[in-house]
Every structure is written in structure tokens, then in C-alpha cells.
Amino acid sequence: AQSVAQPEDQVNVAEGNPLTVKCTYSVSGNPYLFWYVQYPNRGLQFLLKYITGDNLVKGSYGFEAEFNKSQTSFHLKKPSALVSDSALYFCAVRDTSNSGYSTLTFGKGTMLLVSP
Amino acid sequence: EAQVTQNPRYLITVTGKKLTVTCSQNMNHEYMSWYRQDPGLGLRQIYYSMNVEVTDKGDVPEGYKVSRKEKRNFPLILESPSPNQTSLYFCASQEGGGPGPTRRAYEQYFGPGTRLTVT
């Protein structure tokens, strides 16, 4: 069975500093990995995804994520945090190992708080 | 504007009173899904549909029903709601509903959520 772990319930960072939100995954085959962001009272918005190719993926709002197969990780990063980045972030994975339908499994979410 | 809409956004009801949460998408997506979001548990899939008249259970289907009579609509039905179904519900849609690695690469688009309270 596939799973996602987001080890931090909350990440605190000062505006202007780099941020990292951690994600590790477990799948049988190769993963498709996704990051979503949820702002207060809003639905989830897609940020970026890793399917294949370059391990460093760039997405919306200046975010990027690095796929590391040996560490089964897909950490979300941003060089300089903004107060407006404060939100709930979800990592999600899909397994590619079988030919049938593969559900999208989400982590429990990490709250990012950026202080002025 | 491409979007997924849900109604109502907020609903307070009593135990046992049947309710329906509607979901509609205007992107001609084949795949649609319902999730519930609970603190500390993330998003869990309730039901999904890979196309019209094709639905299947997700991880937490007990107490819920769905139907997919039209491509754009995917209502969630609670026949006899109970307090443990108090939650935040999200509908999502995705291009490409079938199996296969290409279809699995697409991202999902989410509705704004429905906050349900069952007393």
C-alpha cells in the first residue's frame, strides 16, 4: 500500500528566510508526487508535481521541490518566504506500479506559518 | 473560468436527515472524487468516478452514496447522517479517468469545500 508522511505538523519561518516542508513516501513502484496548498476557507490548489525527468521541479508562487529516490523524499522548498505563503501544505503520491486505477494518497498536511 | 463548484458551502443538520451535497465541474473531466478532511488525518477519499455511470469506493465509503449520471455532476448523498460525518468535504476532478501511467500524472482540481455539521 502507498503512503505519505509529513513529519512536521507545523513549520515556522521568518519572512525572507528559506523554507522547507518535508515529505517522504512509500510506494511499490515508481511514484508520481504532488504538492497542494490550502489557504484558509479555500479548496486545495495544485502547486507542482514530479512525474519523471529532472529531480528539481519548479511550480507556482516560486515554490520548488526536489525528488530524491534513494531517500524516498519530495521536500517542498522556497528560497525566500513571504507572509502570504502561510497556509496548509499537502504532499500526495500515486503509485505507477500496476496497470489498474491508482488512488491519490495525501499526507496529513503541514501548516506553514511565516512571521513578518 | 475552469472550476469545480460545490453546494452548499456550509450545512448544519440533525442526525438521520438525508442530505445531498452537489458537485459540478466545467472542464469536461472524466474523473471526479469526493474527499473528507479531518484534523490530523489529512484528506481521505470517500468515493470516486472514472466516468459516467462508473463509480467505486475509496478509503472511507461507509455512510455515503454517490451517483454519476452526467459527466459534469457528482453528488454526494448521506442517507442517514451521523455526528461522525461532521467534517469538511471536498470534491475534485481530473482529466483522464482511466488506468495507465499517463492518466495518473494529471493533477486534481478541487472545489471550495463544504463544511458539514451533524448534531
B38 interfacial to chain A (CB closer than 8 Å): no
Question: A115 to chain B, minimum CA–CA distance in Å?
Answer: 23
The one-letter code for the residue type at B75 is P
User: What are the residues whose beta carbons fall under 8 Å from the beta carbon of A65, sequence distance 6 or more?
Assistant: A33, A35, A48, A50, A56, A57, A59, A74, A75, A76, A77
With an 8 Å Cβ cutoff, are B58 and A96 in contact? Answer: no
pLDDT of amino acid B19: 97
Q: Is residue B97 over pLDDT 60?
A: no
Distance CA A35, CA A109 (A): 10
Of the partner residues A42, A46, A103, the one whose CB lies closest to the CB of residue B45? A103
- Whether B100 shows a pLDDT value over 80: the answer reads no
Residues from chain B contacting residue A60 (CB–CB below 8 Å): none
Q: Rounded to whole angstroms, how far apart are CA atoms A63 and A91?
A: 13
Chain B contact for A73, CB < 8 A?
no
Strands A87-95 and A110-115, bridge-based pairing: antiparallel
pLDDT of residue A100: 59
- For residue A6, the model assigns a pLDDT of 96
Place of cell 448534531: B119
Phi/psi at A25 (nearest 5 deg)?
-135, 165
Do A101 and B98 lie within an 8 Å CB cutoff?
A: yes
Listed by number, the residues of chain A in 37-56 with a beta carbon closer than 8 Å to a beta carbon of chain B are 41-46, 49, 51
pLDDT at B102: 62
Check: CB of residue B23 under 8 Å from CB of residue B32: yes
Alpha-carbon distance of B26 to A7, in angstroms, equals 36
pLDDT tens digits for range A49-77: 998 888 999 999 999 999 999 999 999 99
Q: Among B42, B92, B105, select the one facing A51 at the smallest CB separation.
A: B105
Examine the pLDDT at B41 and tell me if it is beyond 80: yes
Q: State how far the alpha carbon of B54 is from the alpha carbons of A57, B3, B31, B32, in Å.
A: 34, 22, 10, 10
Q: What is the DSSP letter of B76?
A: E
Three-class SS state of B47: strand
For residue A97, list chain B residues with Cβ-Cβ distance below 8 A.
none
Q: Tell me the per-residue pLDDT of B48-61, one tens digit each, with 9 for 90 and over.
A: 998 899 999 999 99
Side chain identity, residue B63:
G
One-letter amino acid at A52 equals T
Q: Which residues of chain A have pLDDT under 70?
A: 97-102
Q: What pLDDT shows up at residue A93?
A: 93
